[in-house]
């Protein structure tokens, strides 16, 4: 009764590819969705497939059944078949988009299609910008291959001679930085006629300039990429600090075991054989033939050449509760405030921290950080607070996958500013999105709290859909203080009265609420559960929802990514319906609603319903106590549930079918939830501004 997590996740990534195939999506944005798909697929192999391969090497776990009643070996075979099918769909989709781009005057060309003027430009560009960055490696069968980075792409080069001399082989890392971006707009391009070339092909054009010292009759370059196991292994040397162990672990990860090779399907067998041998992938099932170009996540950075072929940029809204040049604290003292990014501006949260940093009454700021922007305004505000004499305590989670190096650097920057940096609980990630600001008001400290579903990252807040709740309720501030005391001294026992905290009471609270709905349904009373989250893979929670369905509880699920629950299956989930929404914003918010006999209980949370979130991470959820905010969130769920443009079915027999029919009617188009939500918040802002 469980759908396999990995296969479900691959279905999610297929929904991302559907956006690239959807002709109602702006053309260049479709190209960017292919980049998102490619990036997702790479991370899947580096994390999930690498983990499966480790299971296969463990004799005790090799034949153990996983979710979906398959062994790791069986699952790997299923994944390999699905990935090969998806790779072909990717290539076909990319070719179709390129053909459509030509009709709009945008052509991606290769080195054989250059005019004389363009060729001269490319050769000069190569000599000035690219050549100084190249370090070609000659490849010999008897010589070990130097370290190759799995975040890069490479040309595998073959030099052939007609006189039967042995072929020579080489590898060139294709540089990527601000000085040599992946795509170059060629001179003479106009909005009506734009010609673009990959840096890969500029290097192909200039192969003779790189290997001029060798004698050959033919030279060809074939692109490849590979992925390493992304597991971060830390040694148990008690003489080393956590930071030293992290730095050592990150170094080891650069040498991690290769788990996948994607290569140009036209690569000669002898060259491919050398690569497979040198990378240690001789017995791997994850060898994927592809097209001429790889590391296609770079499509996310495709140059803006025609704004009419991009999504229209809409400005984020000011929340009507926060007036211009007014105190954030005064507002939060008077009422709870819910922000919904990216519809609302993230600047309100920055204003909250900046005001706390300069406010003479601010005593202390406590915050958890998981992922931050590259030039983080959040970190700048915290540093400013410390310089203004405030006590600042930052729980910085080092183990945010792929952001570890940035977090190590941030820790040093914060420490140098005099900020206390703590690392949480050994073996448990701190994933909650919590802020506590304490102000001295009269004779006591008053707490102002933020609980959210997404990271304190002003960059991703423009494209991730998340909730942020601000409150100064005494009971919540006391709970937040308890949590931060516990994170600093976790030998203490943690007890919270209002906030839900995993792995301590969140699972129990949700299970109690589900049991209550089951009881009410069995007694013939109205009962429902609405859940919106990124992933639903925790077996116990899935079984609870099946039990609720059998009892007659109406269950509605909006799950963006992996979902192990199988909706609308006879005998155990007839009363459960599930959809997934993939659109221009990444659906990242978590919301849980329980009918509770007519006295609805509602929560937002940093936790998905996954075993890791409920059992192995510190997460925080908050009950919605303000009636207006509760109504707002209920509207939000309803708007998304009615989406007939971007919602897909999660029922296994109809998985990824669009809920609406095509072509769309105007009524269907009006139901597109992300546009409807923006209009919903805009209307609310106008109404409340008019009332003032």
Residue 211 DSSP one-character state = S
- Return the active site residues: 431
Longest dimension (CA), the chain: 93
User: How many whole angstroms separate alpha carbon 239 and alpha carbon 59?
Assistant: 33
For residue 237, count other CB atoms closer than 10 A to its CB: 10
Closest by alpha carbon to 226, among 150, 170, 172, 277? 150
Residues linked to residue 421 through DSSP beta bridges, in sequence order: 394
String of b and e for 106-121 (b: at least 16 CB within 10 Å)?
A: bbbeebeebeeebeeb
> Measured in Å, how far apart are the chain's first and last C-alpha atoms?
54
Q: Which residue has 């930071």 as its token pair? A: 243
What tokens appear for 578 in the block?
């599930």
Helices (H), 45-135: 50-57, 72-103, 116-125
CA dihedral 119→124→125→126, nearest 10 degrees, is: 90
User: How many whole angstroms separate alpha carbon 449 and alpha carbon 428?
Assistant: 23
Closest by alpha carbon to 619, among 520, 690, 533? 533
Helices (H), 359-473: 377-387, 404-416
In terms of DSSP bridges, do strands 586-587 and 464-471 run parallel, antiparallel, or are they unpaired?
A: parallel
Q: Is 602 helix (H, G, I), strand (E, B) or coil?
A: strand
The phi and psi torsions of 364 (rounded to 5 degrees) equal -155, 155
User: How many whole angstroms separate alpha carbon 191 and alpha carbon 306?
Assistant: 6
What tokens appear for 688 in the block?
């409340």
Are 280 and 258 in contact by the 8 Å Cβ rule? The answer is yes
Residues linked to residue 440 through DSSP beta bridges, in sequence order: 445
């Amino acid at each position: 009764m469980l759908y396999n997590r990995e296969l479900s996740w691959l279905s999610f990534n297929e929904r991302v590819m559907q956006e690239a195939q959807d002709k109602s999506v702006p053309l260049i944005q479709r190209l960017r969705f292919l980049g998102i798909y490619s990036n997702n697929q790479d991370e899947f192999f580096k994390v999930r497939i690498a983990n499966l391969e480790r299971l296969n090497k463990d004799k005790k776990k090799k034949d153990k059944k996983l979710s979906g009643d398959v062994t790791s070996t069986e699952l790997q075979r299923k994944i390999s078949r699905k990935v090969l099918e998806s790779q072909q769909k990717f290539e076909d989709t990319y070719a179709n988009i390129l053909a459509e781009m030509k009709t709009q005057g945008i052509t991606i060309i290769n080195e054989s299609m250059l005019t004389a003027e363009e060729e001269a430009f490319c050769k000069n560009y190569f000599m000035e910008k690219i050549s100084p960055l190249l370090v070609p490696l000659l490849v010999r069968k008897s010589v070990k291959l130097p370290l190759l980075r799995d975040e890069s792409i490479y040309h595998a080069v073959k030099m052939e001679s007609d006189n039967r001399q042995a072929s020579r082989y080489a590898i060139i890392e294709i540089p990527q930085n601000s000085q040599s971006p992946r795509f170059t707009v060629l001179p003479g391009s106009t909005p009506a006629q734009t010609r673009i070339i990959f840096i890969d092909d500029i290097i192909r054009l200039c192969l003779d300039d790189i290997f001029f010292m060798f004698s050959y009759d033919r030279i060809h370059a074939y692109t490849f990429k590979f992925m390493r196991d992304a597991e971060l292994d830390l040694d148990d040397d008690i003489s080393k600090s956590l930071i030293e162990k992290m730095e050592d672990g990150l170094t080891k990860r650069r040498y991690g075991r290769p788990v996948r090779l994607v290569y140009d399907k036209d690569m000669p067998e002898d060259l491919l054989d050398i690569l497979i041998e040198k990378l240690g992938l001789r017995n791997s099932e994850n060898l994927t033939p592809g097209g001429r170009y790889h590391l296609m996540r770079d499509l996310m950075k495709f140059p803006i050449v025609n704004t009419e072929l991009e999504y229209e940029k809409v400005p984020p809204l000011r929340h009507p509760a926060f007036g211009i040049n007014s105190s954030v604290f005064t507002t939060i003292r008077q009422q709870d405030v819910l922000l919904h990014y990216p519809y609302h501006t993230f600047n309100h949260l920055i204003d909250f921290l900046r005001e706390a940093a300069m406010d003479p009454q601010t005593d202390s700021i406590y915050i958890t950080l998981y992922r931050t922007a590259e030039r983080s305004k959040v970190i700048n505000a915290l540093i400013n607070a410390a310089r203004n004499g405030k006590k600042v305590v930052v729980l910085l989670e080092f183990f945010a996958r792929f952001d570890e190096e940035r977090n190590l650097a941030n820790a040093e920057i914060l420490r140098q500013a005099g900020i206390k940096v703590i690392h949480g609980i050994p073996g448990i990630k701190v994933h909650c999105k919590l802020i506590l600001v304490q102000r001295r008001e009269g004779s006591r400290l008053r707490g102002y709290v933020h609980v959210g579903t997404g990271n304190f990252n002003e960059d991703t807040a423009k494209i991730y859909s998340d909730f942020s709740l601000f409150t100064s309720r005494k009971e919540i501030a006391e709970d937040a203080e308890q949590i931060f005391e516990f994170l600093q001294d976790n030998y203490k026992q943690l007890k919270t009265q209002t906030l839900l905290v995993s792995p301590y009471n969140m699972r129990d609270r949700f299970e109690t609420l589900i049991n209550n709905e089951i009881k009410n349904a069995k007694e013939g009373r109205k009962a429902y559960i609405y859940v919106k989250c990124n992933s639903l893979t925790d077996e116990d929670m899935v079984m609870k929802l099946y039990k609720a369905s059998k009892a007659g509880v109406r269950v509605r699920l909006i799950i963006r990514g992996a979902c192990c629950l199988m909706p609308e299956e006879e005998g155990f989930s007839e009363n459960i319906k599930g959809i997934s929404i993939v659109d221009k914003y990444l659906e990242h918010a978590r919301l849980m609603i329980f009918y509770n006999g007519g006295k609805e209980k509602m929560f937002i949370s940093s936790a998905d319903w996954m075993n890791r979130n409920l059992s192995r991470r510190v997460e925080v959820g908050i009950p919605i106590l303000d009636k207006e905010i509760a109504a707002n969130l209920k509207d939000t769920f309803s708007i998304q549930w009615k989406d007939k443009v971007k919602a897909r079915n999660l029922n296994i027999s109809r998985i990824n079918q669009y809920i609406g029919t095509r072509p769309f009617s105007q009524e269907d188009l009006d139901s597109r939830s992300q546009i409807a939500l923006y209009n919903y918040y805009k209307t609310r802002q106008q109404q409340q501004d008019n009332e003032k």
